[in-house]
Amino acid sequence: MSGASPRLVIRHAPAPARDRLLAAGLHPVLARVYAARGIASADELGASLGDLLPPDDLLGIDPAARRLARAIAAREPMLIVADYDCDGATACAVGIRGLRALGAVVDFLVPNRLEHGYGLTPPIVDLAAAHPRLGRPALIITVDNGIASLEGVDRARELGIDVVVTDHHLPGDALPRAAAIVNPNQPGCGFASKHLAGVGVMFYLLLALRALLRREGAFRDRPEPALQALLDLVAVGTVADLVRLDRNNRLLVSAGLRRIRAGQAQAGVRALFAVAGREWRSAGCQDIGFGVGPRINAAGRLADISLGIECLITDDEDRAHALAAELDGINRSRRELEERMRDEALAAVGEPADGAVTLVVHRPDWHAGVVGLVATRLKDRHHRPTLALAPAGEPGCLQGSGRSIPGVHLRDAIDLAAKRAPGAVLRFGGHAMAAGLTLRADALARFSACFEQAVAELADPGAFSPEFATDGALAGEPVDLDLVEAIDRAVWGQGFPAPVFADEAEVLGQRLLKERHLRVDLRIGGQTFAAVAFGRTELLPRRALIAYRLNRNDWGGRASLQLLIEQVSAPR
């Protein structure tokens, strides 16, 4: 498995769907690409927010909205307890901005990743009960966490504080005894999209709350808040959290991108685009995923995610830019730390043992905030579910993050391993492709063996034979900057991947750029293209099968089309 080049496969594009899209006027290449992603008609590509799934379909949203409405009417102080990643930060910012616009008295609190662990724990509830700005809240609202916080919710009840849980993570065997739970993945919820990010769940709760307040006449004497103004934040959190971009999520992200491109984003989002060197006028999912999101996430990994939240809730342009610059500096430190830990992990693993289906890595000097990125790098390199662990804030414990491959449900594998290694795992949570856990350091070897066995039993057949999906050849198709711009305007991401094409190419020339990247001139069919293989220093053979993305290159005031090389294989 390790080091093997993935086999290039072509996504199947059903001819009837492709033909319907062609008849609707789509570019032939886009018609093929969309058909291969399950789009059967042009109607599914519409971007109207009127096509969003209705909030009423979310189980628990009515009692949650009613509890919030009571708190607003009574001027009860509310406290949002957020997760410490980009989804949690944007969900918190959406909650703060939306609830204040609806008349609430509300503030926020975020656990420290290293000191407090994940979620609404009893110590976090105790901190919340003595909040320095708000005082004792009457109501706690969790965003992007809480579905596993049974003890924390019970502690809040002891203190006379109600809890409304908003989350999207998979629940355990029992649910917290909260005043209300809004989570599309809780048992009995009929909401058709199970892939809402935490920020999406919070946005939906605000929609339901506004509708309730409207029915109760709250807006007779004042304007109704325009919640669509929060959609840039919803887009940032949804893309950054790598949730599946199903139809509903694509509608949310598309609407948020339109606001960003129109200059209607929050001051903090605009500032983050600026420090990331990204152009908001042509904002796309790549700009969020590789520019804005990592800078917010870096605060939660190495410092305090409150910096990111403050950046997203301020309307002061100067403060937004100052906070964005601070987040950018933290992100540079994160990159340096990640590079060192990644190199150490790769050196420690070397060539994994034949037949092994998992990787579990740990070093006593690693930073717990970066282990998820290390797990991602190892998973990508060796195509195995990977756990990376570092010392936790609790003595004698390790805190880890895991990343998986298609065909292996990581949370289920950790669950099974935890059951077979009783007492080893203190807590865990997550979903199919990513998860986190805390375990006893002296049980690492025992748990690792159980994790290896669990993955071997649960993995789909063929999960460990890596494939790289493409959208087939472009030779003979009309390829120009108009096509590139049409692709860039669309919403791509997890579960709805950006198009990658594959053609046999003749290498006309190649050279290294800064000793780190390969610059190549290719002939494909009758056309010649400039291409770049980022991170590749090995020269290409004279003829090769190239998997690539189309890219617009703006250099010297002139736009040109170039190819970004993703994979190189021997010609067929």
pLDDT at 114: 66
Per the CB < 8 A criterion, the answer to whether 61 and 53 are in contact is no
Coil, helix or strand for 224?
coil
27 and 93 together in one domain: no
- What is the distance, to the nearest Å, from the Cα of residue 355 to the centroid of all Cα atoms in its chain? 31
Least confident of 125-129, 163-167, 392-396, 470-474: 392-396
Q: What is the mean pLDDT of residues 538-567?
A: 92
Is the residue at 335 inside a domain?
A: no
Tell me whether residue 278 is in a domain. Answer: yes
What CATH number is attached to the domain comprising 364? Answer: 3.10.310.30
What are the structure tokens assigned to 561, written together? 């089309």
The structure tokens 């649910």 sit at 175
* Residues 32 and 156 occupy one common structural domain: no
* Same domain, yes or no: 306 and 169: yes
Q: Residue 126 — very low, low, confident or very high, per pLDDT cuts 50/70/90?
A: very high
Instruction: Tell me which of 421, 441, 458 is where a domain ends.
Output: 458
- The C-alpha atoms of residue 201 and residue 67 are separated, in whole angstroms, by 16
Reference 571, options 524, 503, 475, 507; nearest CA is 503
Strands, sheet with 180-182, edge to edge from the N-terminal-most edge strand: 105-109, 77-82, 139-143, 162-166, 180-182
Residue 197: left if φ>0, alpha if ψ -120 to 50, beta else—which one?
beta
CA distance 84 to 100: 21
CB within 8 Å of 336: residues ≥ 6 apart: none
Give the C-alpha distances (Å, rounded to integers) separating 403 from 85, 305, 372, 384: 16, 22, 7, 9
Same-domain status, 298 and 360 = no
Classify residue 342: in a domain, yes or no: no
Q: Is 48 exposed, middle or buried (0-12, 13-18, 19+ CB in 10 A)?
A: exposed
Choose the weakest-confidence range: 137-141, 155-159, 246-250, 344-348: 344-348
pLDDT of residue 461: 82
Q: What percent of the chain has pLDDT over 70?
A: 99
User: What number of CA atoms fall less than 13 Å from residue 212's CA on the CB side?
Assistant: 21
Owning domain of residue 386: 350-458
Residue-wise pLDDT tens digits, 14-27: 999 999 999 999 99
Using alpha carbons, select from 194, 149, 173 the residue that is nearest to residue 164: 149
**What is the pLDDT, as a whole number, of residue 462?**
86
Contacts of 203-207 with C-beta under 8 Å, sequence gap 24+, read: 203/94, 203/98, 203/227, 203/230, 203/231, 203/234, 203/252, 204/55, 204/58, 204/61, 205/55, 205/61, 205/64, 205/65, 205/68, 205/166, 206/94, 206/95, 206/98, 206/99, 206/102, 206/230, 207/55
431, 321: one domain: no
- Residue 107 shares a structural domain with residue 70: yes
Could you give the CA distance from residue 364 to residue 457 in angstroms, rounded to a whole number?
30
CATH number of the domain to which 558 belongs: 2.40.50.460
Q: Which pLDDT score is estimated for 4? A: 57
Residues 147, 194: Cα–Cα separation, whole Å: 15
Average pLDDT over residues 249-266: 98
Judge whether 343 lies within some domain.
no
Residue 344 in domain: no
Phi and psi based region of residue 43 (left: phi greater than 0; alpha: psi -120 to 50; beta: remaining): alpha
Res 180 pLDDT > 60: yes
Q: Determine the Cα–Cα distance for residues 477 and 454; give it in Å rounded to an integer.
A: 46
Residue 344 structure tokens: 């150490």
Residue 477 has a pLDDT of 84
Residues 38 and 172 in one domain: no
**Where does a domain end: 402, 426, 458?**
458
At residue 89, does pLDDT exceed 60?
yes
| 420 CB burial (10 A radius; 0-12, 13-18, 19+) | middle
Lowest-confidence region among 187-191, 315-319, 568-572: 568-572
pLDDT tens digits for range 299-314: 999 988 999 999 999 9
Q: What pLDDT score was predicted for residue 103? A: 97
d(CA 182, CA 163): 11
In three-state secondary structure terms, 466 is coil
Pairing of strands 558-569, 7-10: unpaired
**Same-domain check for residues 321 and 178:** yes
How many independent structural domains does the chain possess? 3
One domain, residues 452 and 483 = no
Helix (H) / strand (E) containing 569: strand 558-569
Across 208-222, average pLDDT: 97
107 lies in some domain: yes
**Does 121 lie in the same domain as 232?**
yes
Are 412 and 472 within one domain? no
Q: Are residues 81 and 62 in the same domain?
A: yes
d(CA 229, CA 183): 23
Q: 555 or 3: whose pLDDT is higher?
A: 555
Going by C-beta distance under 8 Å and a sequence separation of 6 or more, which residues neighbour residue 123? 116
Strands 501-513, 517-524: pairing kind = antiparallel
Question: What is the helix (H) or strand (E) element at residue 425, kind and residue range?
Answer: strand 425-430
Tell me the per-residue pLDDT of 216-228, one tens digit each, with 9 for 90 and over. Answer: 999 999 999 999 9
Residues 6 or more apart in contact with residue 194 via CB below 8 angstroms: 184, 185
Give pLDDT, residue 262.
97
CATH at residue 134: 3.90.1640.30
How far, in Å, CA of 362 to CA of 341, rounded?
10
- The pLDDT confidence band at residue 1, using thresholds 50, 70 and 90, is very low
At which of 415, 433, 458 does a domain end?
458
Average pLDDT, integer, range 342-370: 91
**CB atoms < 10 A from the CB of 4, how many?**
11
What distance in Å separates the CA atoms of residue 313 and residue 232, rounded to the nearest whole number? 12
Give the pLDDT mean for 40-55.
Answer: 95
**Is residue 259 in some structural domain?**
yes
Structure tokens at 409: 């449900």
479 compared with 23, residue with greater pLDDT: 23
In a domain? residue 448: yes
| Residue range 433-446, pLDDT digits in tens | 889 999 999 999 99
